[in-house]
């Protein structure tokens, strides 16, 4: 049996308050003295076993970063707001005030079902009951937890029971418990005060307000980044706004928006930024070092895996192998940012379905992608949605909050836009801005944030699949692929693939994805120059440098699809052949 961990701080709030009220004890020294349990023994924040005042963790997306808030760190009367929500714990004249940084975190948008506990393959470390982020949970008997009871609202909450090794839990049971738990912002609990999670009707979505005490390091956080935070769970404070004056209505709204009653607080002891490969439970189970070795070992299998991927997606694309190749290349692409506005490694693809395609054909393709890709965000793009919704985040100055947008995504997400229901009509101001925002994501992998009088931009490291029917997308893509049905080709349907084959596909998409390590051989450089000069001479490169960059982008993604990190002449010519076949469809 695994040994029971004992060398951790069982009552972090009580110990913190005892230390902070000692003479000349700074907060950083207090926090460094708090020892959390081993990570696998800490429950996820929306696990029903997580109770107020105990150690919890959360893997989440940074949706908003708020202004710093003041709290009473220590006071001669022994009161403290450290690790608790009673920020104004004392009105003593000699009370010491400090700052902490509130950050609004939400569960990862677009998480595919197979990454949840009930879909993890054998041999992969199971996740906790309600944890969509690859964490394990402590194993205790249900009697232990039922006897524990709710923690009192005090500075000495009961310690977390962390006594036995973790075990997997049925996801359906865990989900039902989570939706019954108080204080978890699920899809049925989102308030009207701007707590709009960027999760598109995602089951089990959650949110939390994290309080960071190292405000200097906290400023390194960026919107859309994925973080893992460990700290102490607390309930939200209740604010009584009865009798507020009309002049104080604006302040009242801001206070309520920044202190949502339906979202718990997590007072952070430690945090780290997560890597995109950690979103996939298969690669996360390998770890960073073994992942490098797995990529090397996969080189010997690349031919069979590539063919498996192409045939899998072709079965959802009317048996079109060429369109499937471009889709695979898109899913393997990732933006690599260089100096200036240059973005390498990405390949956005517009897949033009036949004009007689049904809605079920679009849904089937989206489901096929979700079955093998860990994070997929779908956005319906039509006249109504463009004019009615804001797809990009916007600052609400009345609430002093960032209003979330659907384009707020974690790194490594696949964005699927569905334009198959687009009709003729007039775009309003909001619709035009949404098209511009979608174009930025497709072409530059960046997302605007509107601040009324100006706009800022943040990176969105995703691969973009634009689905349209009969004609090109209104959002420009790097390449446009018109699907050509091939009814004579017999392929195994994607939804008939067994778990072993799906596991191989999921690993292949992770192991062969763009990682920034890439080069072009000297012989290939010479051939690229030769081909481009000839294309300019005969008019084939009508867009000049843009055509060359498109060819190089396709060739780079093509090399990735074949497990290569160096572009050879052979792969360059192979990519040009693909481009020729693709362009012939556009002319026919």
pLDDT-derived band at 125, boundaries 50, 70, 90: very low
CA–CA distance, 242 with 314 (Å, rounded to integer): 61
Is residue 226 a contact partner of residue 410, using CB atoms and an 8 Å limit?
A: yes
| Tokens coding 19 | 């230390």
Q: List Cβ neighbours of 366 (8 Å cut-off, separation of 6 or more).
A: 376, 378, 416, 418, 467
Condensed to tens digits (0 to 9), the pLDDT of residues 282-339 reads 999 999 999 999 999 999 999 999 999 999 999 999 999 999 999 999 999 999 987 6
Q: In the predicted model, is pLDDT for residue 181 greater than 50?
A: no
Fold of 281-513: Rossmann fold (3.40.50)
In whole angstroms, give the CA distance from residue 178 to residue 176. Answer: 5
Query: Which pLDDT belongs to residue 206?
Result: 84
Lowest-pLDDT range of 166-180, 338-352, 487-501: 166-180
Rounded percentage of the chain residues whose pLDDT exceeds 90: 64
Packing angle between helix 302-314 and helix 321-332, nearest 10 degrees? 120
Lowest mean pLDDT among 332-346, 481-495, 541-555: 332-346
Residue 163's φ and ψ, nearest 5 degrees, are -125, -25
* Tens digits of residue pLDDT in 185-234: 333 333 433 455 545 456 677 889 999 999 988 888 999 999 999 999 99
**Under 8 Å between Cβ of 97 and 73:** yes
3-state secondary structure of 505: helix
Q: What is the pLDDT of residues 401-442, one digit of tens each?
A: 888 889 999 999 999 999 999 999 999 999 999 999 999 999
State whether residue 482 is helix, strand or coil.
strand
Q: Measure Cα distances from 447 to 106, 441, 450 in Å.
A: 18, 6, 10
CA-to-CA dists, residue 283 to 121, 123, 132, 221, 268, angstroms? 12, 12, 15, 24, 27
> For the chain, what is the mean pLDDT?
83
Alpha-carbon radius of gyration of the chain: 26
At 305, list the tokens. 């895996």
CA 542 to chain centre: 38
DSSP, res 3: P
**What are the Cα distances from residue 165, in Å, to 48, 162, 168, 233?**
17, 8, 10, 22
Between 541 and 535, the higher pLDDT residue: 535
Distance from C-alpha of 100 to C-alpha of 291, rounded to nearest angstrom: 37
Looking at residue 246, what is its pLDDT? 55
Among residues 348, 436, 347, 346, the alpha carbon closest in space to that of 391 is found at 436
Q: How confident is the model at residue 137 (pLDDT cuts 50, 70, 90)?
A: very low
User: What is the model's pTM?
Assistant: 0.84
Residue 120 is predicted with a pLDDT of: 33
Q: Which of 62-76, 79-93, 280-294, 310-324 has the highest mean pLDDT?
A: 310-324
Distances (CA, A) of 200 to 115, 183, 391, 438, 458: 17, 20, 11, 17, 21
């Amino acid at each position: 049996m695994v040994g029971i961990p004992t060398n951790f701080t069982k009552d972090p709030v009580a110990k913190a308050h005892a230390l902070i009220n000692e003479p000349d004890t700074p907060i950083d020294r207090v926090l460094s003295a708090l020892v959390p349990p081993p990570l696998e023994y800490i429950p996820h924040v929306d696990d029903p076993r997580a109770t107020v005042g105990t150690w919890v963790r959360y893997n989440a997306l940074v949706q908003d970063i708020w202004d710093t808030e003041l709290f009473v760190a220590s006071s001669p009367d022994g009161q403290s707001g450290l690790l608790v929500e009673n920020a104004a714990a004392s009105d003593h004249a000699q009370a010491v005030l400090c700052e902490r940084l509130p950050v609004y975190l939400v569960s990862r948008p677009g998480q595919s079902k197979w990454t949840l506990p009930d879909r993890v393959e054998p041999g992969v470390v199971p996740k906790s009951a309600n944890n969509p982020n690859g964490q394990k949970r402590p194993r205790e008997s249900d009697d232990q937890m039922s006897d524990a009871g709710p923690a009192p609202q005090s500075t000495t909450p009961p310690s977390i029971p962390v006594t036995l090794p973790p075990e997997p839990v049925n996801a359906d049971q865990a989900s039902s418990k989570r939706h019954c738990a108080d204080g978890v912002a699920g899809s049925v609990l989102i308030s009207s005060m701007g707590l709009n999670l960027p999760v598109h009707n995602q089951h089990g979505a959650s949110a939390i307000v994290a309080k960071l005490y190292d405000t200097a390091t906290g400023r390194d956080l960026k919107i859309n980044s994925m973080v893992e935070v460990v700290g102490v769970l607390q309930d939200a404070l209740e604010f009584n706004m009865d009798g507020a004056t009309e002049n104080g209505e604006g302040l009242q709204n801001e206070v309520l928006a920044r202190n949502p009653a339906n979202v718990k607080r997590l007072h952070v002891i430690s945090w780290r930024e997560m890597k995109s490969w950690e979103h996939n439970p298969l690669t996360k189970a390998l770890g960073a070092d073994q992942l490098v070795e797995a990529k090397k070992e996969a080189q010997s299998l690349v031919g069979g895996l590539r063919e498996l991927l192409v045939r899998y997606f072709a079965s959802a694309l009317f048996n079109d192998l060429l369109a499937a190749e471009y889709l695979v290349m898109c899913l393997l692409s990732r933006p690599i940012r260089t100096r200036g506005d240059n973005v390498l490694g990405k390949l956005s693809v517009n897949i033009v379905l036949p004009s007689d395609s049904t809605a079920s054909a679009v849904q089937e393709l989206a489901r096929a992608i979700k079955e093998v890709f860990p994070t997929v965000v779908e956005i319906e793009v039509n006249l109504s949605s463009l004019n009615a919704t804001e797809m990009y985040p916007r600052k609400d100055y009345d609430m002093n909050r960032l209003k979330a947008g659907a384009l707020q995504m974690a790194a490594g997400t696949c964005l699927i836009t569905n334009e198959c229901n687009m009709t003729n009509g007039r775009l309003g101001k909001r619709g035009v801005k949404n098209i511009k925002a979608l174009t930025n994501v497709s072409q530059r992998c960046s997302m605007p944030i509107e601040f009324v009088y100006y706009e800022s931009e943040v990176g969105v490291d995703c691969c973009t699949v634009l689905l349209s029917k009969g004609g090109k997308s209104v959002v420009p893509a790097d390449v446009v692929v018109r699907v050509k049905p091939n009814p004579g080709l017999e392929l195994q349907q994607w939804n008939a693939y067994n778990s072993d084959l799906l596991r191989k596909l999921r690993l292949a998409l992770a192991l062969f994805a763009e990682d920034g390590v890439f080069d072009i051989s000297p012989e290939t450089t010479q051939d690229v120059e030769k081909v481009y000069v000839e294309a300019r001479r005969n008019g084939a490169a009508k867009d000049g440098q843009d055509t060359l960059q498109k060819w190089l982008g396709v060739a780079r993604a093509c090399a990735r699809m074949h497990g290569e990190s160096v572009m050879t002449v052979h792969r360059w010519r192979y990519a040009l052949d693909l481009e020729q076949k693709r362009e012939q469809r556009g002319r026919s």
